[in-house]
Copies of this chain bind each other. A is one copy, B any other.
Amino acid sequence: MTEPISRSRPPGRVRGTRQAAAIEDTLREADGFRTAQELFDELRRRGDSVGLTTVYRNLNLLVEAGLADVVHREDGESQFRLCGHSAAAGEHHHHIVCRVCGRSVEVAGPEVEAWADRVAAAAGYTQISHTVELFGLCPDHS
């Protein structure tokens, strides 16, 4: 499982199509969270036109494979970003996402995890999952 996402694809899983590569590349270069629509537009602008359906499908594949993260904006729209930059893929972490440009920083919050477990236990709840998302303005947009 220790495989960089650079170019190598697990040979049995995803097929190396032009579209999948374009989506992954664009998402990587974006270096921030993007919605499917935004990605679709950026791809078209780049000349690597890809169907919106394909964008959604590949994004979901990336998420399932643990290669991308999703955060749900306050308006409910989903934003995607390749993960594993600073944290090990699969590791639990959260994000601070810029409301303007989508640029984000991965943050690990052991205290938050501990807090979540503690209050949940105190309330008698089990099998806790939690959603922690921070939105703000990055240094360039403050």
CB distance from A96 to the nearest CB of B (A): 5
- Chain B positions within 8 Å of A129 at CB level: 74, 134-136
Q: Are A125 and B130 in contact (CB under 8 A)?
A: no
Per-position binary interface string of chain A over residues 112-142, scored 1 when its CB falls under 8 Å from any chain B CB and 0 otherwise: 1001100110011111111111111111001
The contact size tier of chain A is 20 to 34
Quickly give the copy total for this chain. Answer: 2
With A112-B115, A123-B107 in contact, is A131–B96 under 8 Å at CB? no
Bound form: Cα–Cα A128–B132 in Å: 13
A53-106, CB < 8 A from B: 72, 74, 76, 78, 96, 98-99, 105
